[in-house]
Amino acid sequence: MGDPVGDAQSGGERCRHLAIIMDGNGRWAKARRLPRIAGHREGVEAVRRVVEAAPGLGLDVLTLYAFSSENWKRPPDEVNDLMGLLKHYVQSEINALHKNGVRLDFIGDWQALRPDLVDLLQRARTRTAGNRGLKLVMALNYGGQGELVRAAQALARAVAAGELTPEAITAEALEARLDTAGYPPPDAVLRTSGELRLSNFLLWQAAYAEYIVTDTLWPDFDGAALAQALAEFSRRERRFGGR
Ligand code: FPP
């Protein structure tokens, strides 16, 4: 019998937290002369496959960039479609996620989404809060710069209230005010579809992450592609600024 974790992540250090920029839905649809929504719909299927495969491949935390704070610039119909898919994903998957011990959480300004979505997301988060399996973190209405600005505002408020001195503003104090407080930083950031951009994703947290780029378009991504990316991670030598 094969050992999937060992096979995928043999030798080197284990990737415990993988963050993914899911890119290429539009191109997947265009190549098939389908509307963009068809690409996003298949993208949700890829999310399902990856969430299912992640624990068996040794991941503890999986962060998915589902909607960026810049994605509001897309045509209103596409934004509506994405919100609809998010709602459908959570509604249709929550029982299975809960049964499998997945803890669902969100980063970004997700509380500014449509009230029906906020309510659904809040309930999913509360319901799965005690689970001990995979931590599935969805970045929704997320941007790294906005997150850092909100953390800076929280620090400034604490100083103004006399709870913190300026000297007590350390990296740890800032990290504690990021949306990702309590999660380890990502060991790797994976981007699909061959694009070589950060796109405002986890700017602080990815300081020492390994970047992995695959040409696969997100709707074609699956457990095997995930295993391949993790195998690439395990071949990297991480130095964290040392040598
Ligand atoms: C990039 O593809 C992807 C997005 C903007 C959003 C990612 C969304 C999904 C995978 C579906 C929704 C997910 C959930 C969990 C509900 P693109 O449209 O930028 O592709 P392109 O660069 O080829 O045009």
Domain with 125 in it: what CATH number?
Answer: 3.40.1180.10
Catalytic residues: 23, 71
208 CA distance to ligand 1 middle (Å): 25
For residue 100, is it within any domain?
Answer: yes
Whether 5 is in a domain gets the answer: no
Q: Whose CA is nearest to atom 18 of ligand 1?
A: 26
**Atom of ligand 1 at shortest distance to CA of 28?**
23
CB 184 within 8 Å of CB 207: no
Probe residue for ligand 1, chosen from 92, 216, 218 as the CB with the greatest number of ligand atoms within 8 Å: 218
- The chain-wide mean pLDDT, for the chain, equals 95
Residue 15: pLDDT band (50, 70, 90) is very high
**Amino acid at residue number 36:** R
pLDDT tens, position by position, 135-190: 999 999 999 999 999 999 999 999 999 999 999 999 999 999 999 999 999 999 99
Ligand 1 centroid to residue 181 C-alpha, Å: 25
What residue type is assigned to position 33 of the chain?
A: R
Residue 220 lies in a domain: yes
pLDDT-based confidence at 5, cuts 50/70/90?
low
Q: Is the residue at 230 inside a domain?
A: yes
Residue 175 forms part of a structural domain: no
Cα 71 to ligand 1 centroid, rounded to whole Å: 9
Regarding the beta carbon of 25 and ligand 1, being less than 6 Å apart is answered yes
Separation of CA 207 and ligand 1 centre (Å): 24
Task: Tell me if 150 is assigned to some domain.
Answer: no
Closest ligand 1 atom number to CA of residue 65? 7
The tally of domains found in the chain comes to 1
Residue 124, pLDDT > 80, answer yes
Helix (H) or strand (E) holding 127: helix 115-128
The CA–CA distances, whole Å, from 220 to 40, 50, 193 equal 11, 11, 10
Q: Which of 34-43, 127-136, 208-217, 230-239 has the lowest mean pLDDT?
A: 230-239
Residue 24 alpha carbon, nearest atom of ligand 1: 23
Percentage of the chain beyond pLDDT 90 is: 92
Query: What per-residue confidence (pLDDT) applies to 3?
Result: 54
Q: Whose CA is nearest to atom 7 of ligand 1?
A: 66
CA distance to 107, 185, 192, per residue, from 17 (Å): 15, 7, 17
Cα 41 versus chain centre, distance: 18
For residue 65, report the distance from its CA to the centre of ligand 1, in Å.
Answer: 9
State the residue range of the domain holding 117: 12-143+186-234
Residue 42 in domain: yes
d(CA 188, CA 228): 13
Which atom of ligand 1 lies nearest, measured to the CA of 29? 23
29 lines ligand 1 (CB under 6 A): no
Q: What are the structure tokens assigned to 103, written together?
A: 């803890």
Asked if the structure places residue 65 within a domain, the reply is yes
| Distance in angstroms (rounded) separating the CA atoms of residues 66 and 63 | 9
